Amino acid sequence: MIRTRVKELVDACFQVGVRQGLWSAGGAGKFTVEIPKHENQGDFSTNIALVLAGIEKKNPRQIAAKVREILEQERELVDTVEIAGPGFVNLTIKTEVWQQLLKIIEKSGPDFGRSTVGAGKRVMVEFVSANPTGPLSVGHGRQAILGDAIARLLEATGHDVYREYYYNDAGRQMRVLGESARARYLELLGRPFTFPEDGYQGEYIYDIGRKLVDQYGEDLVERESVEPFKKMAEQTIFEDISSTLERMDIRFDNYYNERSLYENGYIDSVVQELKSKGLVYEKDHATWFKTTEFGQEKDRVIIKSSGEPTYRLPDIAYHREKFKRGFELLIDIFGSDHIATVPDVMAGVEALGYDPSKIKVILHQFVTLMRDGKQVKMSTRKATFVTVDELLDEVGTDAARFFFMMRKPDSQLEFDLDLATRESQENPVYYVQYAHARACSILRQATEKEVEIVACGDADLRLLTEPEEMALLKLMGAFPTLIESAALDHEPYRVIFYLMELAGQFHSYYNRHKVISDHAALSQSRLCLVAELRKVFGNGLTILGLTAPQTM
């Protein structure tokens, strides 16, 4: 937005300098335009002089003086140019440029913040990908929200996004699940049963048992095959998972079954291709993939001596299929416990002739739940983990989404249940939503008091001169750049931080200045500000999949 215009201006200035022989063209693209930390450092700051001084071996402040000379020729955008510190060039933008920004937001409406940088780029986001062995746990919840938020950000920046859930219903896990269901089925019928040693102990297995009793009565008592038990378990659990995801407003474009990789011969063809490239060998009756040729410490088994593939073979085949299906960027969201598979998949796709740098793996750390200041103990084995459904029951979807997005994936996430449920000022979710509701409320008040709300073009925006108003305008102006960089870096948490900051400034403004007052012209101008603020809050919340309430 405005920063883009300033960057263009500095770029032009750089070119002028090159033409005048002040510096060489070598520094092109190396300098930046940023919003400085401190207010007394202008609206924008560029390090162009420092960068060029490094290249040219000259005094940065002297170069900065030249930069200022050139920039001062321009009078559309720039108010003042100052040289500060070691050679930063600080620019102040004309007040009216900021005021006119409201018209741009008004015109863009719901599109303000959205862009087309990703236009035409097909990207797949693979996430959740939990096998249907039980309800989603809070760890999956973090992943689900993170993946969906990234997908939404990419959509907001024009990418063609495809959400996929990858699962396997054929492995040992599922067999054990089926046997667990059989045991509960027999137990419910009062028959003798043996519960599998490493079986699934969760309460939900009884639900599956009950469904089996309802549907089949005693018909399955003598059944040898585990299939009907497994099938019922899978079906029931998938329904459960889907409804949980639905509650969070998460929908997948496709559920990809690992089994289809076998049925379509993709597994075999991967092995054949690796063989033909001389990248596999037999040892101890197993088939090994020469991952050492791709920088790893040791080779890895892809087919066990039993003839069964290891997990990494389908993983590789699956990623090759993603490429073949025409995606240009593959985003994988995994829990950090899956870190070991990443190098294997990367080596595999590289071996098959695809570019591993197009796979972006986002590993997220674990979630700890806090209640009464103490950690809630969770164990998958004992089935004492907290499910996403329970979490949603307790805190609601907005709070869950907000808290899961609030931290960057790298850090462990501490989820404070007390804070998330508190309906008071400490709760950051409401802080932002309340800002939106408050803006709506002011606009409602204006209508009730019959204060005319005019278009920004018809208001005298020059009346917006308070420091708080200028600060708000500047922050609003940064929104599109923020969305773009958050999308391209796959970092939803940055949008959260932005919205909290904007909300803070708005609440502060509200408490200090009356929007609707006796001064008619001023009221109208301020109503324009509030109306456009409402849009920025609304757009930001919507892009993240949060609701933007009109009243609270």
Partner RNA sequence: GCGCCCGUAGCUCAGCAGGAUAGAGCAACGGCCUUCUAAGCCGUGGGUCCGGGGUUCGAGUCCCUGCGGGCGCGCCA
CB-nearer residue toward RNA: 151 or 515:
515
Q: Which of 329, 516, 522, 544 binds RNA (CB under 7 A)?
A: 516
Q: Which is nearer to RNA, 213 or 471 (CB)?
A: 471
Residue in the structure block whose two tokens are 């859930």: 165
Residues 394-413 that bind RNA (CB under 7 A): 407-408, 410-413
Q: According to CB under 7 A, which residues from 114 to 143 bind RNA?
A: 131
User: Distance between CA 82 and CA 89 in Å, rounded?
Assistant: 6
Task: Answer left, alpha or beta for residue 371, where phi above 0 means left and psi between -120 and 50 means alpha.
Answer: beta
Quote the CA–CA distance of 441 and 425 in Å, as a whole number.
18
Nearer to RNA, 47 or 244 (CB): 47
According to the binding rule CB under 7 A, does residue 47 interact with RNA? yes
Structure tokens at 369: 């739940």
Query: 152 or 526, CB closer to RNA?
Result: 526
For position 358 contacting RNA by CB under 7 A, the verdict is no
**Integer Cα distance of 163 and 359 in angstroms:** 15
Is 95 an interacting residue with respect to RNA (CB under 7 A)?
no
> What would the DSSP string read from start to end of 63-124?
HHHHHHHHHTT--SSEEEEEEETTTEEEEEE-HHHHHHHHHHHHHHGGGBTB--TTTT-EEE
Residue 380 interacts with RNA (CB under 7 A): yes or no: no
Class of residue 537 by CB neighbours under 10 A (exposed 0-12, middle 13-18, buried 19+): buried
d(CA 188, CA 173): 23
- Binders of RNA among residues 259 to 318 (CB under 7 A) are 283-286, 297, 300-301, 304-306, 308, 310-311
The yes or no reply on residue 499 touching RNA (CB under 7 A) is no
Window 415 to 444, contacts with RNA (CB under 7 A): 419, 423-428, 430-431, 434, 437-438, 440-442, 444
Q: How far is CA 380 from CA 47, 194, 397, in A?
A: 52, 21, 23
Residues 318, 315: Cα–Cα separation, whole Å: 5
As measured in angstroms, the least distance from the Cβ of 216 to RNA is: 29
| SS3 track for 129-150 | CCCCCCCCEHHHHHHHHHHHHH
Q: What is the residue whose two structure tokens read 């829990």?
A: 335
Cα separation, 223 vs 546, in Å, equals 48
Q: Which is nearer to RNA, 214 or 449 (CB)?
A: 449
Among 119, 339, 520, 521, binds RNA (CB under 7 A): 339
**Which of 338, 358, 360, 371 is close enough to bind RNA by CB under 7 A?**
338
Binding-site string for RNA from residue 144 to residue 183, where x marks contact by CB under 7 A and - marks none: ------------------------x--xxx----------
In the complex, the smallest distance separating the C-beta of residue 135 from RNA, rounded to whole angstroms, is 17
Q: Is 514 in the site for RNA (CB under 7 A)?
A: yes
Of residues 177-236, which lie at the interface with RNA (CB under 7 A)?
A: none
Pick from 9, 14, 45, 139: which binds RNA (CB under 7 A)? 45
